[in-house]
């Protein structure tokens, strides 16, 4: 299956992925923890029951739960301003809902618009250590 994936951030940490490319599962729920200068951690659930945490969660998180059939209609990602970590995630959905999470200090610079393809998000991929070094969302190409 052909997909689109744009990762934003730096090149540190080790690779990670959680996607439903082999069985058609899609992103069901996402939790995101932020720090002053970066996205600290992400926990994602897929519709096939798999879930995984990347980075080290610390403090309160923000949550988004997809409704059945809900698609992502637009998405943007930002680095942390110095291109070493993911800084922010923003998306809108077909149910007129939105999700935005960003590092607490100002400093977001370049917005990267993501090609969401069909709008069905099949998971996430990126690099992490203690923080989310870079990350992107996996979408099938239409």
CATH code for position 121: 2.100.10.30
User: Per the structure, how many domains does the chain have?
Assistant: 1
Q: Which residues of 65-93 are buried (b: 16+ CB within 10 A; e: fewer)?
A: ebeeebbbeebebbbbbeebbbbbbbbbb
CA distance 20 to 24: 5
Share of residues in the chain with pLDDT > 90 (%): 94
Report residue 98 as tokens: 């939105």
Which domain covers residue 70, as residue numbers? 3-140
The model's pLDDT over 47-88, given as tens digits with 9 standing for 90+, comes to: 999 999 999 999 999 999 999 999 999 999 999 999 999 999
- pLDDT on residue 25: 98
Number of helices and strands in the chain (H, E): 0, 13
Average pLDDT over residues 20-29: 97
Nearest Cα residue to 48 out of 71, 27, 65, 17: 27
Average pLDDT over residues 14-40: 98
- pLDDT on residue 142: 74
Q: What is the pTM of this model?
A: 0.96
Report residue 75 as tokens: 């998405």
From the CB of residue 103, how many other CB atoms can be counted at a distance below 10 Å?
22
């Amino acid at each position: 299956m052909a997909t689109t994936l744009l990762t934003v951030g730096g090149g540190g940490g080790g690779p990670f992925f959680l996607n439903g490319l082999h069985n058609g599962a899609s992103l069901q729920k996402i939790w995101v923890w932020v720090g002053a200068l970066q996205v600290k951690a992400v926990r994602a659930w897929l519709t096939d029951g798999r879930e995984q945490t990347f980075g080290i969660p610390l403090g309160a998180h923000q949550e988004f739960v997809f409704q059945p059939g809900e698609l992502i209609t637009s998405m943007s990602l930002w680095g942390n301003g110095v291109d070493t970590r993911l800084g922010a995630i923003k998306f809108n959905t077909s149910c007129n809902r939105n999700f935005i999470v960003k590092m607490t200090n100002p400093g977001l610079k370049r917005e990267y618009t993501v090609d969401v393809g069909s709008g069905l998000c099949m998971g996430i991929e990126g690099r992490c250590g203690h923080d989310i070094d870079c990350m992107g969302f996996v979408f099938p190409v239409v």
